[in-house]
Chain A
């Protein structure tokens, strides 16, 4: 089974989104480079597009986001490769029906799509452990992948940078698709945060 890995940028932006709205559920998409992969090569999610916060389980804005980001992906030779969600309650780490539906939709277009649930209880300033669980599609069900498999391309780099970003409260300036719908000038590609991450690398 193909393994999904995240770059530091993808991992950090995902967690910054969760950190920005601690009292809300959040969700978003992960994108990978659209290229032919050799057998056994992992799918590398290179970026993350934070989508919504608050009430997630409504279809129209999700459809708009999926279509728009799909178009953006095609222009940048990316493909939507995954969906992430952080639930409202700290102890709730399982995907709900909505998450499974969206992930299944993504899987129609990209068969190795992953569903990633953020484990809110593992988010801390020191980032001791990766705060995510990866679910993969097997026989029409989403099953949680073994936690011992490294989810990040370079965990020690991701850990170090995530910690620095949290200290800096970079999440204050993170833009999600909801922010974009509130004001179209808000840029959901988050170029400034991308620059900060690159700078910290």
Chain B
């Protein structure tokens, strides 16, 4: 089996840097992390210095994702030797038990941590993750809401809550969670865009108008966000065709939709430069936009 460094012609430093990038950007490409990380640990451990501990943690979590309990246990043991009694390592031991579906034992680990340190957010979140894994969505949502009353600034938790609500089709509460996120992150185009999608899904003319506004806002924050552009097109088109909208509102929205359509076409043309394959997408989009053209009534 060829080594990663041979197959991709990379040095150990490049492998280490790749792992750091994946870690910092929170990627969940576990198979790749295991491949690169395992080789780094086995062949180049001595060169990594203190980086090795955080790499053990990263590779361990990725190994759990890939059912590599052997690798996970190896990493865990190294961390347990080095950081005896550490809560951070104990949480990793809990995660391994979760991966093996030994939820009761995992819960005990997390409760032990919390007894020692009631503010340990990682352990609380793992308990909620267990509820999620067991399909207990209502309890997970309840616990997460309680957690957020205490830790109101935890963005990851607000986003998790929004997604749990979306999966339960409780769009109103999902919107509320996303509003919290937008308040603290007004420049994040992704939250704006997802909020717009939730409003659109809720339906009704007021929600559609809100959705259009937030799609537009997301586009202002990032003019390459295709979802926002498509969303703007769809919401404006629906409002333009709605019997509940006033004549002026309809006229305005037909204009917005037409603008969005031209931008979509332009984006596809730019993308299609050169490749034959994307021409099929471009043609389909052009036809779709033509067929959906709203005539002001």
Contact = CB atoms under 8 A, between A and B. Distances in A.
Interface in B222-255: 226-227, 230-231, 234-235
B264 to A, nearest CB: 10
Interface in B63-85: 65
Contacts of B48: none
Interface string A69-88: 11110010000000000001
Which range contains the number of A residues in contact with the other chain?
Answer: 35 or more
A59 B200 contact: yes
Contacts of B194: 55, 58
Given A58-B201, A184-B281, A71 B28 contact: no
B167 A55 contact: yes
Interface in B185-242: 194, 196-198, 200-201, 203, 211, 226-227, 230-231, 234-235
Interface stretch (A26-34, A90-98, A102-110, A149-157): A90-98
Nearest to B274: A185
A64 B280 contact: no
A198 interface: no
Contact of A67 (B227, B277, B283, B288): B288
B292 interface: yes
Interface in A38-71: 55, 57-61, 63-64, 67-71
Contact of B169 (A23, A97, A182): A97
Given A58-B198, A58-B201, A60-B200, A72 B268 contact: no
Nearest to A190: B277
A71 B281 CA distance: 10
A63 B237 CA distance: 12
A130 interface: no
A181 interface: yes
Interface residues of B, number: 40
A187 B163 CA distance: 27
A99 to B, nearest CB: 11
B242 to A, nearest CB: 15
A34 B280 CA distance: 19
Given A91-B135, A184-B226, A64 B234 contact: yes
Given A23-B28, A68-B288, A97-B169, A60 B281 contact: no
A55 B163 contact: yes
Interface string B159-184: 00001001101000000000000000
Interface string A146-180: 00000000000000000000000100000000001
A60 B201 contact: yes
Interface of B is mostly: helix
A122 interface: no
B280 A58 contact: no
Contacts of B54: none
Contact of B278 (A92, A98, A185): A185
Contacts of B280: 72, 75, 187, 189
A57 B271 contact: no
B166 A57 contact: yes
Nearest to A74: B287
Interface in A117-165: none
A61 B285 contact: no
A191 B169 contact: no
A55 B177 CA distance: 15
A93 to B, nearest CB: 11
Given A59-B201, A92-B135, A187-B278, A71 B284 contact: yes
Contact of B281 (A58, A64, A89, A187): A187
A68 B282 CA distance: 10
A89 B133 contact: yes
14 contacts: A23-B28, A57-B167, A58-B194, A58-B197, A60-B196, A61-B197, A64-B230, A68-B285, A71-B287, A71-B288, A71-B291, A89-B133, A89-B135, A184-B281
Interface of B: 28, 31, 65, 133, 135, 163, 166-167, 169, 194, 196-198, 200-201, 203, 211, 226-227, 230-231, 234-235, 267-268, 270-272, 275, 277-278, 280-281, 283-285, 287-288, 291-292
Given A96-B169, A181-B226, A182-B226, 8 more contacts: A58-B197, A59-B197, A60-B227, A60-B231, A64-B234, A75-B280, A184-B268, A185-B272
